[in-house]
Amino acid sequence: MTSPKNITLIIHGGSGRVHKEPMTVEKEAAYTQKLTEALLSGFDVLQKGESSLDAVETAVKILEDSPLFNAGRGAVFNNDEIIELDASIMDGKSMKAGAIAGVKTIKNPVSAARCVMEKSDYVMLSGLGAEQFAAENNLEIADSSWFETDERRRQIQQIKQAKNSPDTNSLSDQSKYGTVGAVALDSEGNLAAATSTGGMLNKKYGRIGDTPIIGAGTYANATCAVSCTGWGEFFICHTVARDIAALVEYKQLSVAEAADEVIFDKVAQAGGFGGVIVLDANGNIAIKHNTEGMFWACIKWTGEKKVNVCNMIIE
Yes or no: say if 10 and 285 are a contact pair by the CB < 8 Å rule.
yes
Q: Tell me the C-alpha distance between 264 and 288, whole Å.
A: 9
Half-sphere exposure of residue 185, counting CA atoms within 13 Å on the CB side? 28
Among 90, 64, 33, smallest CA distance to 180 is for 64
Q: Give, for 224, the enclosing helix (H) or strand (E).
A: strand 224-230
The crossing angle, in degrees rounded to 10, of helices 109-119 and 127-136 is 80
Active site residue 179: yes
Instruction: Kindly tell me the burial class for residue 309, based on how many C-beta atoms sit within 10 Å of its own C-beta (0-12, 13-18, 19 or more).
Output: buried
Backbone φ, ψ for residue 97 (5° rounding): -145, 160
CA atoms of 309 and 297, how far apart (whole Å): 9
Query: Cα–Cα distance between 98 and 268 in angstroms, integer?
Result: 28
Cα–Cα distances (Å) from 234 to 16, 65, 130, 229, in that order, read 15, 28, 25, 11
Please tell me which residue in 179, 195, 229, 239 is annotated as part of the active site.
179
Q: How far, rounded to the nearest angstrom, does the alpha carbon of residue 262 sit from its chain's CA centroid?
A: 17
The catalytic residues are 179
